Amino acid sequence: MDVSGQDTSDHCTNSSEGPVTVAQAKYDPFFTRNLRVIEDLLIDEKRYHSTPGFCVSQSPARTTWMRRSLLNWLRDICIHRGTDGEVLAHTAQLIDRYMHIVPTEQNEYQLVGATCFFISSKLKETVPIALRKVTEYTANSLTEQDVLAKELTVCISLMWDLTCITPVDFVAPVVEFLEFVPSLRQIIRQAALCIYIKAFHVEEISTYMPSYIAAACILYALNLTVHRDLSDTTIRSVTRIQRILRLEAVSSF
């Protein structure tokens, strides 16, 4: 599913330039309904988790506004391309990880964002975004050489460890363990991903571990999509989420 909430099971194509996005693989029960996968994610999220990164030499209010503007711009790009939400989530965390290591001035902020999106697209998409398109999305304020040079800087700064664990990674595996029919689980999964994409640019959210954010999005999705007649099943599902993700507490549903 892309960041606009549309199903990407069909190819999104551009007649002059070929496919913009390619359908993602179907959910594999071996990975989505496997507790060991979730346990590995819980371990790795502690290693890769990063709090929001901000530009240096700017007031707190301005750096907050700049971060939100950058992430909103990247979200608009993903909506325009029909890009999967996993790419956007990976980009945001890659930006934060890099900026905690390398102090970044205001005039390089868009370059960092565009470069991290370029990297994430190559890691997560079957047909990644072309370098030329990246520069076009910046109204050609950046050159291809700028992006390639910054790409090398980002990779070296992160010691070529470009892995990121995001809330998107948790949503599909956790939802598979809920006691609902497959069609309802699909709706819950799509709703949870939409909720996260709508709010991911808010810096306070990123201070929490990805598993906590995923749990909050799933719980909100349950509240929006599940009929009240299924209250007992919902309560069991909430308890199961708490147990699977080892959460300290989950508010009553």
pLDDT grade, residue 3 (50/70/90)?
Answer: low
pLDDT computed for residue 27 by the predictor:
64
Q: Which two tokens stand for residue 57?
A: 């030499």
Distance between CA atoms of residues 134 and 125, nearest Å: 15
Residue at a domain's end among 157, 185, 210: 157
pLDDT digits 0-9 by tens, 190-212: 999 999 999 998 888 888 999 99
pLDDT computed for residue 128 by the predictor:
92
**Stretch 11-23: mean pLDDT:** 50
Within-domain flag for 16: no
The DSSP bridge partners found for residue 12 are 21
Element (H, E) at 72: helix 60-81
State the virtual CA torsion across 193, 6, 177, 51 in degrees, nearest 10.
-20
pLDDT for residue 17 is more than 50: no
pLDDT for residue 237 is more than 60: yes
126 and 215 inside one domain? no
Please give the residue range of the domain that contains residue 88: 51-157
**Stretch 173-197: mean pLDDT:** 91
174 and 153 inside one domain? no
**Stretch 156-177: mean pLDDT:** 92
Distance between CA atoms of residues 57 and 55, nearest Å: 7
Within 8 A by CB and 6+ apart from 140, the residues are none
pLDDT for residue 13 is more than 70: no
Cβ–Cβ under 8 Å, residues 142 and 182: no
Number of folded domains in the chain?
2
45 and 58 inside one domain? no
Within 8 A by CB and 6+ apart from 215, the residues are 170, 174, 241, 242, 245, 247, 250
* DSSP, res 5: S
**Stretch 69-82: mean pLDDT:** 93
Within 8 A by CB and 6+ apart from 32, the residues are 172, 173, 176
**Stretch 34-51: mean pLDDT:** 89
pLDDT computed for residue 55 by the predictor:
77
Cβ–Cβ under 8 Å, residues 113 and 73: yes
pLDDT grade, residue 5 (50/70/90)?
Answer: low
pLDDT digits 0-9 by tens, 87-125: 999 999 999 999 999 988 888 999 999 999 999 999 999
Q: Which two tokens stand for residue 39?
A: 């346990």
The C-alpha angle with vertex 4 and arms to 139 and 200, in degrees rounded to 5, equals: 80
pLDDT for residue 11 is more than 60: no
* % of the chain surpassing 90 pLDDT: 48
Residue at a domain's end among 139, 157, 175: 157
Q: Which CATH number belongs to the domain containing residue 220 in this structure? A: 1.10.472.10
Q: Cα–Cα distances in Å, from 16 out to 13, 19, 129, 235?
A: 9, 9, 15, 51
Q: Considering only 48-57, 62-71, 159-168, 172-181, which range has the smallest mean pLDDT?
A: 48-57
